[in-house]
Structure 1
Amino acid sequence: MSLDSETRPRTLSEATSSPTTSHAGKRIRRTRVAGGGCLAFGVREGDKLTVIDPEGAQLGLLYALSETEGGQAVIPSLTHLDAPTLEEALDEALEGRAATEHALGSRNVDKGEIRGSRLFGPDSAPGSKVQFEIKATGLCVLVAPGSAMAPDEQNTPTDLLIEIEQTTDERLDAPPPLAEPKMDLRVDAATAASYEVKAGDYIQIVDVEGRQCSDFLAFDAEALKRGIENGLDATTTHTLMGSAAPGPGLHSKYYDQTQKPLVEVIQDTVGRHDTFMLACNAKYYEDMGYPGHSNCTDNFNACLEPYDAIAPRKGWPAINFFYNTFVDDDDGIGLDEPWSRPGDYVLLRALTDIVCASSSCADDIDPANGWSPTDIQVRVYDKENDFPKGKAHRMTPDAEPRLTRESGFYPRFAALTRKFEDYRGFWLPTCFSDVEPIEEYWACREKAVIMDLSALRKFEVTGPDAEELVHLVATRNIRKLSQGQVVYTAFCYDHGGMIDDGTVFRLCQNNFRVVCGDDYLGVWMRQVAEERGLKVWVRSSTDQLHNVALQGPRSRDILKEIVWTRPDQPTIEELKWFRFLVGRIADQPVVISRTGYTGELGYEIWCHPDAAPEVFDAIWEAGQPHGLRPFGLLALDMVRIEAGLVFAGYDFCDQTDPFEAGIGFTVRKDMEEEPFIGSEALARRKANPQKKLVGLDIGSNECIHHGDPIYIGRAQIGEVTSSTRSPILKKNIALARMDVTKSEPGTQVEIGKLDGHQKRIPATIVTLSHYDPKKTRVRDVAPE
């Protein structure tokens, strides 16, 4: 049989090659409802449903519907029907409404008559939960009500979590589809299936129960009609994309051996896949002592047999989604259990007509599939759908994934560049020029720039014990912080290693806002509050507060033309360093802080995402006479290294204390009188320093990188943490962590390349920071 226009996609029964397998036992499905949003989800008789309020003070509205009507047959214990009607609740939902309406569409119900139950409320403690026994198969809808939060308020809606414990022996259900599928195919454990996809359509490959690999093959359908087998080629893909595994963003495509792109990655909730090994084959199992074992290669050969142009192979070079292989320090290739959790998936888009094959890997003799193969779900969606690009981020290993999202300012920056990268879960611009960000750099140093920093994490800390908690977790003396003031601080574990750095805003006596880079800080603060018995809420407001930084010597002149403040608030001209005001831009409420990350006079403007376009437009228009330019992450890295400003994951980590990170000034001097978490360890570390952050002047124009070792003679005495080419200093510079005995300014050292010894680059230790060490420019307007 050859491929022609009459060939139709095969169903599971037509194309699979092995019998179904399933696994008995308890399974748990987890998902989240976004604050201010809603979610519809199916339940079965015998399930146990748990709804959790992880951050506290978030109202939940739960509705249960049977197969034919609303009612409590599904959850008999849902007796207090004190919630508004389902129709009223959905009218207020900000996220998930369309998918919920789609799920309700198949049920002939009157949403205006269905009432539900209220869960939690303004006084619910963080981690509160309610549990229900499911007595009949049906559909549930959970709403987490909440409206837009003004930037000077703290009533942020937060997520609710859902756990469904399935105790039956039936297979775990796949998660709800992303849209109406054109094809919905269950690939049973240890089988494979072939199917056809038209150009522009989407392919979703779902790991239903988690820890299950799925090999993927794709062939150019037009070439197959001509008798030519052009399939995905890993070597070509690696070369053209410059990455081990393409992912959402600029480097997202998989190619065949003719360098023709066949598919691109749109969404990926795992991000770790094998793209350089063969699918499992008979030889692998024979060598391990299991002759005749089912394998993906034979399964592929069987399901692809109808295509005359595709010859069978002894080992298929597949893209193995979810397979966790790695290369060790000795160039050996090893494997371990996959990173995928139940419901994780990869969403691809076909770039031409293709013939595909997907397997559920048959390997049960090693950790490749968690020792127990399970099912894979494959869905195809019409090209008319518009799925946003993104990869998943989890604040903790057991958290629900969040796909990369766009900030409220994204449309304005996207009109100026296509160069975006996934920065901590947000699409942020890297550069706005054709080659290098030099123009952006000089605009920051001489005029003004605007950049999107919405990826910063924000937490609203409220309650009678709010000051107690923040004072306990921050290295600064928070009790000295006055209303309207901001302070830069570190946050440390008990052993003195840093969790993160960030800023703390004091809104009033018992109200604080913590701004940092890591979601985990919020989780950790809630844990500390629970352990200490503090009455305080730590709620994420990252999705309610997006922000741009306006930096440079002209920034004050730009803002003073467009910012309105009440008489009880300072004006832009009056706003002091590390203070904030509440005002309006373009009649939109904003909070403006005199803070930044560039070493220049500058401000950060905080607003709700819905207000972001108008706020940006007002700043952009006012800034044009002053030479305002957009600013990306590459230029930001240049200016912050010049200014000696540290970056998490490069200049510090959880093994680094604030003294070693060069921010010892953030540690309060009264540690014994005012102890805080990590203070005992920090006092010991301060008395016995081991490492010190220093500046390096590089005696060469060759590139220096993070992690490069630093030597005096044969001995390594430090390593580079960050480096850049400084346009204003006309040389390469770096930040480095050195042994304290070899950290004096003027010390001559060498940076090792290759094995550290074959090639050395000279450098000289200098004090921090390279540029404006006394911070005169951030404290006032730079001289013309």
Structure 2
Amino acid sequence: MNQMWFQPAPASARERAIQVPGGGCCVVAVTAGDVLRIVDPEGLQGALLYARAGTFEPAGEAPFLESLLANGIDGAEVARATLAAGDVAPSDLAGLAVLAGETQAGAVWEGIAAQASLCLVAAPGRAMAPEAQDVPTALRLTIRSTQSTAGQAPPPLAPPLQDIRIDAATARAFTVRAGQFIQIIDVDGRQCADFLAFDAAELAEGREFGLDATTTHTLMGTSSPKPGLHAKYFDARMVPLVEVVQDTVGRHDTFMLACSAKYYEDMGYPGHSNCTDNFNAVLTRHGIASRKGWPAINFFYNTIPGPHDRIDMDEPWSRPGDYVLLRALTDLVCATSSCADDIDPANGWEPTDIHVRVYDAACDFPRGMSHRTMPDSEPRLTRETGFHPATAALTRKFEDYRGFWLPSCFSAAGPIEEYWACRERAVVLDLSALRKFEVTGPDAEALMQRAITRDVRKLAIGQIVYAAMCYEHGGMIDDGTLFRLGENNFRWVCGDAYCGPWLREMAERHGLKVWVRESTDQLHNLSIQGPRARHVLHPILVTPPHQPSISELKWFRFTVGRLAGVPVVVSRTGYTGELGYEVWCHPGQGPAVWRAVMEAGAPHGLVPAGLAALDMLRIEAGLVFAEYEFCDQTDPFEAGIGFAVAAAKSEAYSGQEALARRRAAPQRRLVGLDLIGNEAVGHGDPVYIGRAQVGVITSAARSPVLRKTIALARLDLSAAKIGTAVEIGKLDGHRKRLAASVVPFPHYDPEKTRVRAEPALGTPPPRPTSPTETVETAGMPA
């Protein structure tokens, strides 16, 4: 019998963490003695708690649960079904208003359950109008139990067909039918699970076709699992056997050998239990020959490409309850193990159980990977935007962009045609993944004055300003646009969800009375860009008399109105270098806005565009992108947006002293590069003068309008002079060099005449700059 060198984990009190979405509700169970804690992370969010009478101490009155559920709160249908499954009627639960009024960020209610009860927790709130700021926000709910929850699998995603517990350091085999879903759950966290799958029909004929590492790596072209087309695992015939549907971790080794007897023997542990032997034992009855080592999908196993071509490893990233959801693409014989490794960090030194559930093929599980705003945040699966019903009918090419499914391109055209449509006519892009934060309260202006590099006090109501947000050392957190909706009302639109927590931390540190609440899920946006953009919006946008019309709207201003009857905010902003607008609406009204824009745009040649075309457009226009042109190690000057740092801002703001030093003594500068030749370069490629590396490519593209390869690069100041000859290193940086020269940027329309254009309605659109016309004029100041 195989030996194991680990001790079972001691029982201890554990917490369950749940996020209640803003405007929604969820049902949880408590037992006597459990501590229920409800936190309002962002402030101003009410919290309602429904439980059997006497479960918690009395608090403020709440509306009857039946009326709450009937009033359209999100999650009502699931809540009703969960209560009914527990034989609980809404009338059986008494309501408590546990958080109400002007609660500050981080407000807490805590209660100890006097008895067992199903509980419904609600974060009430209506859909936010685009011009309003009364956004419902999420509540954080934790249940601290006196009993150990170790070894408890999370609730099933649907009624399971099979419910299989794989004890620590063992393996189990099971069969699934084509279309069924396989959920592999890390029960207690930090536990690897190897997975094998074989074509069941071929096994019945005596032929063994299982998952093949070489074929899968080759066909996928990547070692990272991603949902959809690029998540399939193949056998040696190039037949897909399974695909990834959901992944709450995102960090796995996608194909190495399961641990074997040889590994432990070489480490001095002969006879140690191992996954390969465990697989051999359970697969024999299916006619599968034993092996010395099984190539397996190593879910939750954390391998790291180390220096000198070594594979290193550390503790898994998975947390209790994390899982991977697969779909069987044919009838399969599967085997899953709980890895036996307890002699290194692979399983956190302490192997624990794995749980497997199989679900019916009729289940409708959304595809996605989990994202966390902060390390301790609850994970959220990739979600769809309000325009997804429309875009999904036009393309199957989506990518997970900052937690949202956005189109890469559309089936009817493709990136190049979409690019030219933007330069010559108009396009519509779904950019709803932008993060939005409502900043309100008497100290809202004071907070934003401290937080960004612009002088906020100069910003008029209805105006927008582009700015950087920096740490104290001058490195950038993010860039974004700040809308002034009122005297004490702002909206920060950016790319990084961390901006919200950082603003709240700053407000608390300086004792400011201000609320920062995320409205990303209440405000989605379409970008209408191109020389005909104004013509597209003019017939469908109606604004009240006190608001600018579309023909009056100036650059970096916004207006409020209705588009085809839908309440919207329209801003004259964009990310393409063309005349353009962004339409902001509630996601529930996204399909109506999409239809209206597409119908109005048809006579003007408007087409939908995706992220691939957008990347070409923004690089030509010299517009920066997070983790490419900037990060927390670069300042706004090095990122090429020094113009966004106020030169004379007397009030202190984050990073002010560091930025003053960096402005006075710059070390690096963002420049444009023109490449000689047509070979491709990309982000991260080194830039050389002679043997010395003087910088790095931040972004690059083949420019359709300029008919050449262009790049943005961050170079040492000594190499940043216009006309300097440089080389881009490929291979090891020395064996292959591509010649280039430093040029001004933006490469396209450097004076930004097109984005500032004010043509009268009815005039023909301006023609894009041709390659023979002068583009080598001064770029934006840095």
Deviations 1:619-649 (A, max 9, x none): 1111111110111111111111111100001
1:302-317 to 2 correspondences below 5 Å: 302-307=281-286, 309-317=287-295
1:730-745 to 2 correspondences below 5 Å: 730-745=707-722
2:681 to 704, 707, 714: 704
1:134 to 94, 101, 113: 113
**1:649 maps to 2:649:** no
> For 1:151 and 1:600, how far apart are their aligned partners in 2?
24
Name the residue aligned to 2:238.
259
2:578 to 600, 619, 629: 600
State the SS of the aligned residue for 2:715. strand
Unpaired segments of 5 or more residues in structure 2?
760-764, 768-782
Deviations 1:207-235 (A, max 9, x none): 12211111111111111211222111121
After TM superposition, give the deviation of residue 46 of structure 1 in Å. Answer: 4.0
Name the residue aligned to 1:471.
449
1:694 to 643, 663, 671: 671
> For 2:502 and 2:285, how far apart are their aligned partners in 1?
56
TM-score w.r.t. the length of structure 1 is: 0.94
Quick one: structure 1 residues 161 and 475, their matched pair in 2 at CA, closer, same or farther if it must change by over 3 Å?
Answer: same
1:508-527 to 2 correspondences below 5 Å: 508-527=486-505
Contact 1:85–1:113 (8 Å) recurs in 2: no
Which moves more between the two structures, 599-608 or 114-123? 114-123
Query: What RMSD in Å do the two structures reach over aligned CA positions?
Result: 1.8
State the SS of the aligned residue for 1:572. coil
After TM superposition, give the deviation of residue 437 of structure 1 in Å. Answer: 1.4
State the SS of the aligned residue for 2:420. helix
Name the residue aligned to 1:119.
98
Quick one: structure 1 residues 137 and 219, their matched pair in 2 at CA, closer, same or farther if it must change by over 3 Å?
Answer: farther
2:351 maps to a residue whose letter is P
Which moves more between the two structures, 202-211 or 561-570? 202-211
Quick one: structure 1 residues 114 and 555, their matched pair in 2 at CA, closer, same or farther if it must change by over 3 Å?
Answer: same
1:742 maps to a residue whose letter is A
Name the residue aligned to 2:478.
500
Name the residue aligned to 2:269.
290
> For 2:243 and 2:388, how far apart are their aligned partners in 1?
22
> For 1:606 and 1:434, how far apart are their aligned partners in 2?
26
Contact 1:598–1:636 (8 Å) recurs in 2: yes
Quick one: structure 1 residues 420 and 525, their matched pair in 2 at CA, closer, same or farther if it must change by over 3 Å?
Answer: same
After TM superposition, give the deviation of residue 727 of structure 1 in Å. Answer: 1.0
Contact 1:38–1:93 (8 Å) recurs in 2: no
State the SS of the aligned residue for 1:276. strand
State the SS of the aligned residue for 1:533. coil
State the SS of the aligned residue for 1:236. helix
State the SS of the aligned residue for 1:779. coil
Name the residue aligned to 1:664.
642
Quick one: structure 1 residues 286 and 71, their matched pair in 2 at CA, closer, same or farther if it must change by over 3 Å?
Answer: farther
> For 2:278 and 2:120, how far apart are their aligned partners in 1?
40
Contact 1:22–1:189 (8 Å) recurs in 2: no
State the SS of the aligned residue for 2:61. coil
Quick one: structure 1 residues 172 and 81, their matched pair in 2 at CA, closer, same or farther if it must change by over 3 Å?
Answer: farther
> For 2:332 and 2:529, how far apart are their aligned partners in 1?
49
Deviations 1:490-535 (A, max 9, x none): 0000000000000000000111000000000011001111111111
Contact 1:81–1:115 (8 Å) recurs in 2: no
After TM superposition, give the deviation of residue 107 of structure 1 in Å. Answer: 2.4
State the SS of the aligned residue for 2:295. coil
State the SS of the aligned residue for 1:681. helix
**1:778 maps to 2:752:** no
After TM superposition, give the deviation of residue 755 of structure 1 in Å. Answer: 0.6
1:751 maps to a residue whose letter is I
Deviations 1:359-388 (A, max 9, x none): 221211111111111222211111111111
Deviations 1:453-484 (A, max 9, x none): 00000000011111111111010001111100
Name the residue aligned to 1:421.
399
Contact 1:88–1:112 (8 Å) recurs in 2: no
1:502 maps to a residue whose letter is G
2:21 maps to a residue whose letter is A
**1:31 maps to 2:18:** yes
> For 1:336 and 1:168, how far apart are their aligned partners in 2?
30
TM-score w.r.t. the length of structure 2 is: 0.94
State the SS of the aligned residue for 2:613. helix
Name the residue aligned to 1:618.
596
Name the residue aligned to 2:177.
198
**1:228 maps to 2:211:** no
> For 1:267 and 1:593, how far apart are their aligned partners in 2?
36
1:541 maps to a residue whose letter is S
> For 1:173 and 1:129, how far apart are their aligned partners in 2?
27
1:181 maps to a residue whose letter is P
2:347 maps to a residue whose letter is N
Which moves more between the two structures, 332-341 or 284-293? 284-293
Contact 1:255–1:263 (8 Å) recurs in 2: yes
1:768 maps to a residue whose letter is F
After TM superposition, give the deviation of residue 44 of structure 1 in Å. Answer: 3.7
State the SS of the aligned residue for 1:275. strand
Contact 2:32–2:115 (8 Å) recurs in 1: yes
1:352-371 to 2 correspondences below 5 Å: 352-371=330-349
Name the residue aligned to 1:47.
34
**1:217 maps to 2:196:** yes
After TM superposition, give the deviation of residue 305 of structure 1 in Å. Answer: 3.1
Unpaired segments of 5 or more residues in structure 1?
1-16, 65-69
Contact 2:178–2:332 (8 Å) recurs in 1: yes
1:517 maps to a residue whose letter is G
After TM superposition, give the deviation of residue 18 of structure 1 in Å. Answer: 13
Name the residue aligned to 1:8.
none
1:150 to 117, 125, 129: 129
> For 1:457 and 1:638, how far apart are their aligned partners in 2?
22
2:713 maps to a residue whose letter is A
Name the residue aligned to 2:700.
723
Contact 2:668–2:717 (8 Å) recurs in 1: yes
**1:327 maps to 2:305:** yes
2:22 maps to a residue whose letter is G
State the SS of the aligned residue for 2:755. helix
Name the residue aligned to 1:378.
356
After TM superposition, give the deviation of residue 306 of structure 1 in Å. Answer: 2.2
**1:545 maps to 2:523:** yes
After TM superposition, give the deviation of residue 445 of structure 1 in Å. Answer: 0.7
Deviations 1:132-174 (A, max 9, x none): 2234444222111111111000111111112223343453422
Deviations 1:327-379 (A, max 9, x none): 21311111101111111111111111111111221211111111111222211
2:26 maps to a residue whose letter is L
Which moves more between the two structures, 196-205 or 99-108? 99-108
Q: How many residues align?
A: 758
Which moves more between the two structures, 246-255 or 493-502? 246-255
After TM superposition, give the deviation of residue 93 of structure 1 in Å. Answer: 5.3
State the SS of the aligned residue for 1:658. coil
1:394-413 to 2 correspondences below 5 Å: 394-413=372-391
Name the residue aligned to 2:612.
634
Contact 2:40–2:140 (8 Å) recurs in 1: yes
Contact 2:9–2:350 (8 Å) recurs in 1: no
After TM superposition, give the deviation of residue 21 of structure 1 in Å. Answer: 4.5
**1:746 maps to 2:746:** no
> For 1:281 and 1:90, how far apart are their aligned partners in 2?
54
> For 1:115 and 1:46, how far apart are their aligned partners in 2?
19
Name the residue aligned to 1:4.
none
1:774 maps to a residue whose letter is E
> For 1:554 and 1:383, how far apart are their aligned partners in 2?
46
State the SS of the aligned residue for 1:115. strand
> For 2:750 and 2:599, how far apart are their aligned partners in 1?
33
Contact 1:86–1:113 (8 Å) recurs in 2: no
State the SS of the aligned residue for 2:178. coil
Deviations 1:588-612 (A, max 9, x none): 0000000000000000000001111
Contact 1:249–1:421 (8 Å) recurs in 2: no
After TM superposition, give the deviation of residue 193 of structure 1 in Å. Answer: 1.6
**1:71 maps to 2:71:** no
Where has structure 1 moved over 4 Å in runs of 4 or more?
17-22, 433-436
Deviations 1:408-443 (A, max 9, x none): 111111222111111111111111257851111111
Quick one: structure 1 residues 426 and 641, their matched pair in 2 at CA, closer, same or farther if it must change by over 3 Å?
Answer: same
Contact 1:20–1:188 (8 Å) recurs in 2: no
Identity of aligned residues (%): 62
Contact 2:60–2:98 (8 Å) recurs in 1: no
> For 1:90 and 1:21, how far apart are their aligned partners in 2?
44
Contact 2:14–2:149 (8 Å) recurs in 1: no
